[in-house]
Amino acid sequence: MNTNTPTPNPAGDDLDRLFAAYFQAEMPKKWPAAPRPWADKPRAANTSPRTDPSHRSRWALAASVALLIGSCWYLSGHITDGRTKPQFNPDGTASPTAIEKNLGKDKADPKVAPIPGMP
If one asks whether residue 2 binds another protein (CB under 8 A), the answer comes out as yes
CB of 21 to another protein, least distance (A): 5
If one asks whether residue 26 binds another protein (CB under 8 A), the answer comes out as yes
CA-CA distances (angstroms) from residue 45 to 36, 38, 50, 56?
Answer: 14, 9, 14, 19
If one asks whether residue 115 binds another protein (CB under 8 A), the answer comes out as no
CB of 6 to another protein, least distance (A): 13
If one asks whether residue 55 binds another protein (CB under 8 A), the answer comes out as no
CA-CA distances (angstroms) from residue 39 to 35, 50, 51?
Answer: 9, 20, 17
Single out the residue of 6, 8, 10, 35 in contact with another protein (rule: CB under 8 A): 35
Whole-angstrom Cα distance, residue 65 to residue 73? Answer: 12
If one asks whether residue 71 binds another protein (CB under 8 A), the answer comes out as no
Angle at 112 between CA 109 and CA 115, to 5 degrees: 135
Angle at 58 between CA 52 and CA 63, to 5 degrees: 130
Single out the residue of 6, 10, 23, 49 in contact with another protein (rule: CB under 8 A): 23
Binding site for another protein (CB under 8 A): 1-4, 14-28, 31-32, 34-38, 44-45, 47
